Amino acid sequence: MILVLNTGSSSIKAAIFDGTLTEIAGATLTGLGDADGDAVLSVTGQKQTVAAHDHGAGIAVILDALSGHEITAVAHRVVHGGTKLTAPTRLTDAAIATIEANVPLAPLHNPPALAGIHAMATVRPDLPQFASFDTAFHATQPDLATTYALPKAQRDAGIRRYGFHGLSYASMVDHFGAGIPKRLLALHLGNGASLCAILDGKSVATSMGYSPLEGLTMGTRTGCIDGMAVLRIAEEIGIDAAGTLLNKQSGLKGLAGTNDMRDLLASDGTDAQFAVDHFCYWAARHAGSAIVAMGGIDAVAFTGGIGENSAPIRDRIMAHLSFLGDVPFHTVEAREERQIAQDAMQVTT
């Protein structure tokens, strides 16, 4: 049985998969790191308050909650693999050091994953650990697609486009199997939103760049914004506050006060309607760019909380693309955890 862990700054999501990649149990811890030291554990819909001050304590709570299952390996979701970790890997000391070296690339995302990895190694040193990376699926992009037109010093320092949501896109490719459309426009629309040009099952372009900020209008992230506008905002409110503003207070929330698409669709307020229009229009604008990157389009596939559940949003984005003719579209369930378990099973070294 493989334990899959998705460790965020204030939450840990855990799922156990058996050898046939069926999810047989799960547990979620939220509110980790709250000032009161309490967190909320959810197991099969039952919630209880537990004491968990840090990720180490959180991992212990999760293991306790799932103690009825015999775990033989642990597989972690790690957002950023950088240029070196472009495939799922066994977590050797060297691999862990590489993830640590990538922290400057993903200061919000890699540290919690590392905390989870170290906590597991302390509590269960007997278990082999593996990692899958959100960036890895996009390693097949050509240099033209990943390079920002910057001087060599900055390019050499890793300032380039990476792309994210790769585990979702990899699971989508798996879902289609041999029947995957040749030129597939994939849209992962959740709180974070991106799209990917998938040609012959491989990423050739994606809307997120150096960080998950770039590209589509998202729940709380701006999506594309001119670098000079970023500098101006940073000049006025400081670099840290600018980072928070662009990542946490912008997007749908910045335009209409909430990042919940259901509320926006239900509202008849003009701000809400503008935010929804903005989301759909920019998804389609970036789709145009991805379609160029793969030389045309054979099908569209939607995934993520919005992509899977909201027919009105899918229809509006498809309406923007109607000039392309009758392009079929699919709705695919994002199964990132299952993908991580499958990756770990396939890593043999």
Beta-sheet strands, E only, within 118-176: 129-133
User: Smallest distance from the beta carbon of 35 to ligand ADP, in angstroms?
Assistant: 23
Q: Is 89 in the site for ligand ADP (CB under 6 A)?
A: no
Nearest to 54 by CA among 24, 32, 70, 39: 32
Q: Which is closer to ligand ADP, CB of 89 or CB of 310?
A: 310
Q: What are phi and psi of 275, to 5 degrees?
A: -60, -45
Q: Which is closer to ligand ADP, CB of 174 or CB of 308?
A: 308
Q: Which stretch binds ligand ADP (CB under 6 A): 53-61, 86-94, 202-210, 261-269?
A: 261-269
Which residue in 81, 112, 181, 190 binds ligand ADP (CB under 6 A)?
Answer: 190
Q: Is 260 in the site for ligand ADP (CB under 6 A)?
A: yes
Q: Is 191 in the site for ligand ADP (CB under 6 A)?
A: yes
Contact 57, 118 (CB under 8 A): no
User: Smallest distance from the beta carbon of 1 to ligand ADP, in angstroms?
Assistant: 24
Burial of 135 (0-12, 13-18, 19+ CB in 10 A): buried
Phi-psi label, residue 130: left if phi above 0, alpha if psi -120 to 50, beta otherwise: beta
Catalytic hit among 34, 38, 126, 134: 134
Burial of 234 (0-12, 13-18, 19+ CB in 10 A): middle
For 98, residues 6+ apart whose C-beta sits below 8 A from its C-beta are: 81, 82, 84, 85
Half-sphere exposure of 95 (CA within 13 A, CB side): 21
Q: Is 261 in the site for ligand ADP (CB under 6 A)?
A: yes
**134 labelled catalytic:** yes
Which residue in 219, 223, 251, 254 binds ligand ADP (CB under 6 A)?
Answer: 219
- Mask 49-68, x = binds ligand ADP (CB under 6 A)? --------------------
Binding site for ligand ADP (CB under 6 A): 190-192, 219, 259-262, 265, 304-306, 309-310
List residues with catalytic annotation.
134
